[in-house]
């Protein structure tokens, strides 16, 4: 089977070259259409936490709830 394939390829050189050129052009077209980012996104993901505390003023919520949450979560991966 391999001998037949090689023999036919040698006999039909123009067909083999045309198919090779078609594959190269198809590959080049596919490479230009790939959505690849050259530089990765280096920003760390952010998390939004909404805190509520009934009966407290906004300044007290900031001081007693939000600030301790922020300090506890600061530096987590």
Asked if 32 and 49 sit in the same domain, the reply is no
Is the per-residue pLDDT at 76 higher than 80?
no
Q: Cα dist. 34→10, 31, 49 in Å?
A: 35, 5, 37
Q: What is the pLDDT of residues 9-38, one digit of tens each?
A: 999 999 999 999 999 999 999 999 988 777
Asked if 22 and 51 sit in the same domain, the reply is no
Are 51 and 69 in contact, with CB atoms under 8 Å apart?
Answer: yes
Structural domains in the chain (count): 2
Return d(Cα 59, Cα 66) in angstroms, integer.
10
Asked if 5 and 28 sit in the same domain, the reply is yes
| pLDDT band, very low/low/confident/very high, at 53 (cuts 50, 70, 90) | confident
Place of tokens 């050259």: 38
Domain that holds residue 72: 45-77
pTM over 0.85: no
Q: In this predicted model, which residue has the larger pLDDT, 63 or 22?
A: 22
Place of tokens 């594959």: 23
């Amino acid at each position: 089977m391999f001998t037949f394939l090689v023999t036919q390829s040698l006999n039909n050189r123009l067909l083999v070259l045309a198919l090779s050129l078609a594959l190269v052009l198809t590959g080049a077209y596919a490479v230009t259409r790939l959505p690849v980012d050259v530089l990765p996104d280096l920003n760390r993901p952010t998390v939004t936490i909404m805190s509520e505390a009934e009966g407290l003023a906004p300044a007290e919520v900031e001081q007693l709830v939000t600030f301790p949450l922020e300090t506890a979560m600061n530096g987590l991966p």
